[in-house]
Chains A and B, each alone.
Chain A
């Protein structure tokens, strides 16, 4: 127990410079307008995409050179001031929520695409470059960047690395970790490191994989080199409606068994279908219980061949209606409903809360049935969109934040969903990250020894624990607090020894 405590000390109370003194230090090398002290200007930085979690930082700084970032890190390191790095703030786990005693380090000014190598099929970009901007810049060479999170218009590549972001095309094209070749990292001490190379692998431990998804706890990324892929000759999407979730789930299994890896394979349940159709007018059948969107891409011949097989297969699995895109416009329309599912659900409820569990595909019907029971238990509606290809479930819990206690109830419901995901062999987060939001569920997925191992990894990079403190991995103390708040029930036992002295 003592060892664990030592590997992750909380940053000591600020005995160093106060807000004004720190701002003075930064203004010596950063444009004074971008060292932000006043609450009004700081306000936009108080949260990320998960606005239920807010905090005001000590200071916001927006450096514009790597040297300035290094200098910020050195000063913060010297005075043991926490640092929280931030891209576009589109994250959904409060991973970029500021620290009250710390510096919020915005990388928003790092917006340049430094180099595109069309022959080598790579792009070297600054971390504040938007995900979609990479594909837009690469398009004239017939190339694009694979991972496409639904926030891709706004989210930045630096944030994508921090969260190991996915998207609707992961099953075929992978996550961020599969598409990043090299990063430049500023360590907590302010040292500049290059991790990865121009080759496909590097000798030694795979630090590049470790950084992807590390949620800003190990360092600050100041440059990213990504792999670019040739834009497929053709892409078409088949929409199929089913009268039960089970039938749609079986059809998903059928496609995989057929030996086809779709570029995208998405499912929506009846709540999501109706909301999306009312919002986007994509032509979804509103009486369907489940809807599948299956996109196939590749050469023209391959798409033709696979589309026919997918259509036949959906018929065989009892689809009540099938529609295949005949043009790019129609493909875009069919996707529009799915891509606007979140805002669409936002229209049928004052608020919604998006969860992010993963499950083995075969467990889908069971999980949805259980979720329906929970929905009745908590008296809260839930709509489901599902990256069916890779088992990533996004239940959207509908609630009203103005009703006292309803958000707390929503959080409790969400926690139960994540626990269910772990029970059936899945995990608590597929692509949104842990941040602060899911830190309570970490002990459901990991035992104390595993959590301790995470802390030792953290300590190798950040011994004093000043990088994004309190996020990602719960401390021993947090584990104990969660345990005292929520006594284990027979149905959902708490991890047996969370908080036990095992080390």
Chain B
């Protein structure tokens, strides 16, 4: 429960002067993500604790090493939540790691992502400077949005030390409906429903079943259930939790796991392997040997990108390739934050 900012700064400065590279680790629950990286361990996991939580302001601020579970337990006492449903790949999943990987759970298309709920950060850059961007208020357009730039950068820009997030009240009522249908029909139905003003909060298709979660005022959820029909699913909470944390049977085993982040209306491609479709069609998981060169054109055709999320060859590229100009821009940004390339070398791309 302590503030280790100065120690972390010292470690960054030593590494810089000694020409060593650093591998930033919080709880280590997402070590499987990104490319294989090298560098000495920089442990942020002990830099933990909630710094402030004001339920009426809808804001929580915590050090980067704070476990997600600890924050959620605190919010629950006040009837609030992290609406982006951060996955917990283990009990050790931390706030900083969740931001670096920009991970969000099943409710993401409706409630927003990790980056959407982000209000501000503290960061140690490659010069060892402790910086603060954004804040603890809902709106802040002074300066560039450095906070959100961290979302998905896989720690390549600096050491995230503190995160402020918007929190929201827990819905008064949640009901999940389960309907049997093929994937093509599920995509059509879920997109049509998403265009209507009903209290949808998650939509996932798996093994011939479409799961639709409704959340909000009781009267509103109940009247929608009546209109749409279908049986409420009694084990819904467990289903969504296992989906969020990748504990469903779909995610088990060593077969490579691919993530297609695409247009929700894109027709399902004819690729071999087992599929699970989340986010109402915008996030599609595939278990298959495959290779990224083969999947990239498919993902592009579907309006988005593909990532080798887990397993497979992690010495090659695992994120969708970038056009040359965007690659150059990101390399320049990297140099602007981390001139000596200290942080997470190669974790995001081989060229980063």
Contact = CB atoms under 8 A, between A and B. Distances in A.
B170 interface: yes
A319 B261 CA distance: 49
4 closest A-B pairs by beta carbon, nearest first, are: A198-B303, A199-B304, A456-B336, A209-B148
B142 A199 contact: no
A328 to B, nearest CB: 16
Contact of B142 (A201, A207, A391, A428): A428
Interface string B178-200: 00000000000001101111110
Nearest to A418: B142
A466 to B, nearest CB: 16
B322 A203 contact: yes
A392 B141 CA distance: 11
Interface residues of A, number: 95
B146 interface: yes
B156 to A, nearest CB: 8
A139 interface: no
A218 B218 CA distance: 46
A206 B115 contact: yes
Interface of A: 117-121, 141-143, 163-164, 166, 170-171, 174-175, 177-178, 187, 191, 193-195, 197-207, 209-210, 212-214, 218, 230-233, 253, 256-257, 259-261, 298-299, 301-302, 304-306, 358-362, 387, 389-392, 425-434, 438, 442, 445-447, 449-451, 453-454, 456-461, 472-473, 503
A253 B55 CA distance: 9
Interface in B217-231: 217-220, 222-224
Contacts of A253: 56
27 contacts: A118-B195, A119-B192, A142-B197, A170-B138, A193-B323, A193-B325, A198-B304, A201-B115, A204-B330, A205-B156, A207-B329, A210-B144, A259-B79, A299-B199, A299-B216, A302-B219, A358-B137, A358-B139, A359-B137, A361-B57, A391-B138, A425-B135, A431-B141, A450-B132, A453-B336, A456-B337, A457-B144
Given A199-B263, A205-B157, 17 more contacts: A191-B325, A197-B262, A199-B303, A201-B261, A203-B319, A203-B320, A204-B153, A205-B149, A256-B55, A257-B55, A259-B170, A298-B199, A299-B199, A299-B223, A304-B219, A390-B137, A429-B142
Given A299-B197, A299-B198, A427-B135, A204 B322 contact: yes
Interface of B: 54-59, 79, 102, 108-109, 112-113, 115-116, 125, 127, 129, 131-133, 135-146, 148-153, 156-157, 168-170, 172, 191-192, 194-199, 216-220, 222-224, 260-266, 279, 282-283, 302-305, 307, 319-320, 322-323, 325-326, 329-330, 332-333, 335-337, 348-349
Contacts of A233: 197
A301 B138 CA distance: 28
A166 B220 CA distance: 28
Contact of B224 (A197, A209, A259, A299): A299
B336 A177 contact: no
B336 A457 contact: yes
Contacts of B223: 299, 301
A232 B140 contact: no
B305 A203 contact: yes
Nearest to B283: A200
Given A201-B261, A206-B149, A434 B326 contact: no
Given A201-B113, A203-B305, A360 B220 contact: no
A429 B145 CA distance: 13
Contacts of B262: 197-199
B115 A446 contact: no
Contacts of A256: 55-58, 169
B113 to A, nearest CB: 7
